[in-house]
Amino acid sequence: MTNSLDPDFIAIANGLDIDELVNFSNAMEIESKQVFKKSEYLKFLLIKKMEQQEATQITTSNCIAELDYKVEWDNNVLSTLLADEVILERLISIGGYVPEHEVTTKVSGKFNMTKTKTIAKEGKKYRDVIETARVLTNPKIKFKQQ
Q: Where are the domains of the chain?
A: 1-55, 68-146
142 band by pLDDT with thresholds 50, 70 and 90:
confident
pLDDT score, position 3:
63
| Mean pLDDT of the 83-109 span | 90
Q: What is the pTM of this model?
A: 0.56
CA angle at 32 for the pair 28 and 33, rounded to the nearest 5°: 120
CA distance 29 to 80: 52
CA distance 104 to 139: 36
Helix (H) / strand (E) containing 40: helix 18-52
For the chain, the average pLDDT equals 91
Question: Would the pLDDT of 65 be above 90?
Answer: yes
pLDDT score, position 145:
76
CA distance 135 to 66: 18
